[in-house]
Structure 1
């Protein structure tokens, strides 16, 4: 059921990150089969825009054309990539007969779409909204690990992707779905929009 709320809302959660290969044909965006990326910890989207184009008349600012989205960076923190998701976002070749995967010249890093759920709270009620960042290319993530001491030090993985405008007729870069009262409904809507119903 679509969420209804009268008060403002504050973001309190992030979950269910999915990735799918991205392509566009004839101005229409197409997704490959979406796969779960990992368990989501956080997401940060930093858009970049061109400068405003200002027009001055009578010695003052008379008109302005606002800057447009030109690109940006999407950073996801996750618990650890699923194997299928790692192979997808880095374009890794099939593992050898010995089970080892080579990171090298055979990698073909694809453009991917990133979908996820943002959880908010308004007047004591939780709201879930699906979001898709349409065209991205992931950079190789750093690798790090620390030895385990007397207590577990939970170690996460940070993934960074260059984000750009899509190739559809309106050059969208982000889609935001309607808000739902349950996470399950939001995930169902996200998967449907990305072609996994």
Structure 2
């Protein structure tokens, strides 16, 4: 059995545990406040303990799988994000604690186009532009249900079979916030084409002896 420290749990003293829970949910933490006023938040194998009481200044450094998506969620929720030296991003939780986040060491940055959009999103829009069948306008709309008059450029889908066409802006937002959503590129290299290539052709079929 390994001796020494088995795990470490950061503890944050906050003024409002519920507000802190909503903030850290943007990073993927989940959990709820217990009867003792403490919240044990989990993200995978990681634990963060939130204690409601007198706030005390603290700093957390987080490695995230997608810096751009994390930044987008924070900004959309009203938490400004600044670039810090060394490639990290910096924000603050509702109690003023400093939160630094960056990609894990050795993980390359995703490729993006000059306009800042990820390459797969831009490529999907280019493929869709060459095909018929897209609606005239974005079907996703704004966060309060307001219609979007921008052209539909990207088709999204999920594992349940639901699909929607969206403009690039709302497609980006959906991919960030709807965890089950993915690009439906329809570029001829999807599942249908893959399965068709695996079908037995007459000239290659086995001939009974």
What TM-score, normalized to structure 2? 0.23
Q: Using CA pairs below 8 Å that are at least 6 residues apart, which structure has the higher relative contact order? A: 1
- From the two aligned structures, give the one with the greater strand fraction: 1
- From the two aligned structures, give the one with the greater helix fraction: 2
What TM-score, normalized to structure 1? 0.24
Larger Rg: 2
